[in-house]
Chains A and B, each alone.
Chain A
Amino acid sequence: MPFSSHTTLSTALIGTVYFASRDDPSPVKLNLSGGSYRSEEGKPLVLQAVRRAEQQLANDMSRDKDYLPLDGLAEFNKLSAKLILGDESSAVKENRVVTIQCLSGTGSLRVGAEFLAKHNQERVIFVSNPTWGNHPNIFSLAGMSVEYYRYYDPKTRGLDFKGMLEDLGAAPSGAIVVLQACAHNPTGVDPTLKQWEQIRQVVRSKSLLPFFDNAYQGFASGDLESDAQAVRMFVNDGGECLIAQSFAKNMGLYGERIGALTIVCTSEDVARKVKSQLLLVVRPMYLSPPIHGASIVTTILKNSDMYNDWTVELKGMANRILSMRKQLNEALQARGTPGDWSHIIRQIGMFSFTGLNEKQVRFIAKEYHIYMNYDGRVSIAGLSSKTVSQLADAIHAAVTRMA
């Protein structure tokens, strides 16, 4: 039998946490291992702006379902580029920017990586240690060899900045560096703007090619412009970079798979050639991207009322997460939980690297029915005012009862 000789898959760590959580019959169980936003009621959220946009699209009988061009919906591409690069971006005005619609962040990373594997002088790509679990798989399958730069410092539960600069400084010229634009996944640890400037200097002086993973614009601080600053810093120095943009979180469009790959080039002529080569990657992968998600995003971005409504809802989500961080930190302080828990409010975005070890994580799952990733990552977005005390109790117990 041709297909019989396969070994059993060892499921990804997130997968086992999910299944354990799913099979737990406890009425108080809490799943903090997922990567999607939850409301204060613990429910998934479809933004009002999205529902309005969808109604508008469905009621428009002039719309058809013909294939999009290979690079996706043109208006979507333009609006997405402006969103991340800014309305006044000179790179955009100089036609040096190629943007193609892709399947959310993952698809953008994969298409970009396949393009680079074919055309970049160096096939080495550096990702942070740790990074999102899917990053190494995406890049390996695209044909790159994956290396790591130091990033998270477990002692401070913050950034190992010196280690990061050293490792980037030692990278071979022309190597690609993946930089998470904001709200680092899984740690929640972001460089300061000052640190970003220093990173930029090292990256440019060593001729490293930045590849930004931009999955949380607006979701980290609540402000779209603030969360774009790191990316724009690099683009403003006139250099080249790639950006993988996702609308999964900031527009709650997770399952619609909508994102964009942007490549900022040094000239219009290069941008044109880059675009033509990108299409050669896309066509044998899925021909052209799906219409629906792109149409929703476009409808919202181009209508100023909807856009404003969206920014308000976005800020609402970000603020709720910030509030959960504060509440958790205060709850731990109130319990006198040993250790410094300030990282919970220093870290940013959907996730927090609690600093709990696997033993403590398993203890918490067993005794408190709270599920987080084995590396100690919790989804703050999955917490609510009602469940914060449950988590605080669990952390307190784990930390005092087992090292």
Chain B
Amino acid sequence: MATTTADGSKVVGGGEKSNVDDGKMITLFSSDGERFEVTQEAAAMSQTIHHMMEDGCVDDEGVHLPNVGSEILAMVIEYCNRHVASSSSEKEEEDLRSFDDGFVKVEQHTLFDIIRAANYLDVKQLLDLCCQTVADSIKSKSVEEIRALFGIENDFTAEEEAEIRKENQWAFE
């Protein structure tokens, strides 16, 4: 997990996996100015950062991510570090599944923040995981609960709403 080094910057390591043989590091800056050191391999799980590295757009300082706050960035980095070294052993897959299950057990608004970050950073696996989690959770929710969850107002006229309800009835809801 994250540890703070002497100069105040955070280093988010990959758990028991050593960074030594993974090669180069890259620095990421969150929107609130926090520094994160990540292996280039883990960072490349974000297609956005990967393209920046390929196109030589990353200077000595690192990559600034104005759209991602430190709390969420730390979580995304944790996910990438965990998933980057993919071995196909069954035990490893089981461990990853447990990790993913625990990873998404967060507040709904945090999950939405992660989705936005995963979309901006283009980390497909993470986007899939979180979107599927939200999809599964709304399957059983009522329309009113979903509106409350997403902060949506009902903007239908009575006629529009009635028309949809009628269609649903005809389709044997």
A pairs with B: no
